[in-house]
Amino acid sequence: MPVENMIVTPWEVKGEIDYDKLIEQFGTEPITPELLEKIRRHTGELHLQLRRKIFFSHRDLDWILGRYEGGERFVLYTGRGPSGAVHIGHLLPWIFTRHLQEKFRTRLYFQMTDDEKFLIRPDLTLEKTEYYTKENSLDLIALGFQPGETLIMPDTRCARTFYNMALEIAKHVNFSTGRAVFGFEESSNIGIVFFPAIQAVPCFLESMLTGEKVPTLIPAAIDQDPYWRMTRDVAPRLGYPKPAQIHGKFLPSLGRKEKMSASLPETAIYTTDSPETAERKIMNAFTGGRATVEEQRRLGANPEICPIYFYEYFLFVEDDAQIGRIFQDCRSGKLLCGDHKRSLAESVSKFLVRHQELREKARDRLDEYLVDDQFLEMLRR
């Protein structure tokens, strides 16, 4: 597969993604059948995102599970850069994280990098990132995260707790490593050059607050991996366990061969889109279909490049037998793209109506989840 155009950094994902190549380039491990079996022992039936290899790669997941089996706990850590509305791609790692929280009964540290988005997006003010922090938190609460064990931490509200640890981390990373890992340029502002130390902090937060050495597992799409490469190098020097990761694939956009991205709003479905808007976007989507109905009936379509099929595979069709049938029906020409789009639009619509209801209910519950320095200080032992 040609991968020359593939770019995967925390701030840019472009081109056709070759996930095997990423495992090689980033030096991560594939999730093997043995590891899946080990997970199954604790979770029962495997989550859709594991069964379908949407979470496909890891670092030290086997190690963290081994410790867990020996009676030691771990915590979860993931996050969001609150730069706008949440799209359904963002929901993927969060849905999976919620599953892990439920099965392993762990605390989740959820970082809102309002500082990061302020620094990299010329159009964003701190007032706006604060607004999106709250709006995006509603999406998390709507997904059913446990109150009390889910701490949503906006960086600007947790700065006092984060700053000293960020200094410790930053002191061990020189500019040339930062440039190699994150692609900083002469024109990068100096805030963003320091910022990776802030995203590293929650990897050590539970250990820092409790004085125990508690490892952290980070579920996220693989674009966030550069942060963890840097953090894992620093961890032993600070005497903390290296953070473990489980890496997910990207939900593609509704266009051709790109990940779902907020910078292409017509090809992304936001959790705040009305069902009509979502339907319009889906009806205008790229597909793996043929130019005419006659050709498609005769030659079949290609679900392997089709966002409509991917959305069902990643999120909207839970039943494995059913998704298998859909694949076959696309291939054989039995299922036409118009009908397929309508069927997806219906599922998405149902999902949005329910999610938006839960999202509105969550407005009164923000205080149960959003934390600040004072709250974190109370956890310190």
Point out which span in 76-84, 159-167, 208-216, 233-241 binds ligand TYM (CB under 6 A).
76-84
Asked whether position 154 contacts ligand TYM by CB under 6 A, the answer is no
The contact pattern for ligand TYM, residues 178-207, with x = CB under 6 A and - = no contact, is ---------------------x--------
Residue nearest to ligand TYM (CB): 81
187 dihedral zone (left: phi>0; alpha: psi -120 to 50; beta) = alpha
Amino acid letter at 188? S
Nearer to ligand TYM, 64 or 336 (CB): 64
Asked whether position 165 contacts ligand TYM by CB under 6 A, the answer is no
CA distance 213 to 279: 48
Contact present, 106 and 100 (Cβ < 8 Å): yes
Which residues in the chain belong to E strands, given as ranges? 7-9, 12-14, 29-30, 55-59, 75-80, 108-112, 150-154, 216-221, 244-248
Chain mean position to CA 220: 4
Nearer to ligand TYM, 78 or 101 (CB): 78
Sign of CA dihedral 372, 375, 272, 282: positive
Question: Using the rule CB under 6 A, which residue among 59, 81, 114, 273 binds ligand TYM?
Answer: 81
Minimal distance in Å, beta carbon 20 to ligand TYM? 18
Output DSSP code: residue 302.
-
Chain mean position to CA 134: 18
Point out which span in 243-251, 288-296, 333-341, 356-364 binds ligand TYM (CB under 6 A).
243-251
Point out which span in 34-42, 178-186, 215-223, 235-243 binds ligand TYM (CB under 6 A).
215-223
Question: Using the rule CB under 6 A, which residue among 28, 49, 113, 287 binds ligand TYM?
Answer: 113
Give buried/exposed letters for 22-53 (b at 16+ CB in 10 A, else e).
bbeebebeebeeebeebbeeeeeeebbbbeee
SS3 11: coil
Question: Using the rule CB under 6 A, which residue among 59, 80, 340, 355 binds ligand TYM?
Answer: 80
Asked whether position 223 contacts ligand TYM by CB under 6 A, the answer is yes
Site residues (vs ligand TYM, CB under 6 A): 10, 77-81, 89-90, 92-93, 111, 113, 116, 199, 218, 220-221, 223-224, 248, 250-251, 259-260
